């Protein structure tokens, strides 16, 4: 079953703790992205990676970190430095060619308690 998988679906974190969100794809896509979705604000780009072992900051990277050690995996760590981490996080992947669409995962809802 091909696609992009995010886990877990729901995640609870205590204040001051780091937490890692998983994103895996078996579409053989080169590029992967992390977006944050908040009500009334749409989706905002956190980090993206166009190839393995390389990634760039998006518009709201502060308090987040990523790694891209394998083509199929792009985990996102929400650190304690992120001031308002409660949100819905979406991962996406895309073939690196022109005119290709992005495919999204089901999302992870992170709640800080």
96 binds another protein (CB under 8 A): yes
50 binds another protein (CB under 8 A): yes
Interaction with another protein in 53-72: which residues (CB under 8 A)?
Answer: 56, 58
Count of residues of this chain found to bind another protein when the rule CB under 8 A is applied: 25
The Cβ of residue 20 has, within 10 Å, a number of other Cβ atoms equal to 13
90 binds another protein (CB under 8 A): yes
What span, in angstroms and rounded, lies between the C-alpha atoms of 31 and 94?
Answer: 5
19 DSSP β-pair partners: 78
Residues near 33 by Cβ (< 8 Å), separated by ≥ 6? 45, 47, 48, 49, 58, 74, 91, 92, 93, 94, 102
101 binds another protein (CB under 8 A): yes
Query: Which residues are near another protein by CB under 8 A?
Result: 31, 33, 35, 40-45, 48, 50, 56, 58, 90, 92, 94, 96, 99-102, 104-107
């Amino acid at each position: 079953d091909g696609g992009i998988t995010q886990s877990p679906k729901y995640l609870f974190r205590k204040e001051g703790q780091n937490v890692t969100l998983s994103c895996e794809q078996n579409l053989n896509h080169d590029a992967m992205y992390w977006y944050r979705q908040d009500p009334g604000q749409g989706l905002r780009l956190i980090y993206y990676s166009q190839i393995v072992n390389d990634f760039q900051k998006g518009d709201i990277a502060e308090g987040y970190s990523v790694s891209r050690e394998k083509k199929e995996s792009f985990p996102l760590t929400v650190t304690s430095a992120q001031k308002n981490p409660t949100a819905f996080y979406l991962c996406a992947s895309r073939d690196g060619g022109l005119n290709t669409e992005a495919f999204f995962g089901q999302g992870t809802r992170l709640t800080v308690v």
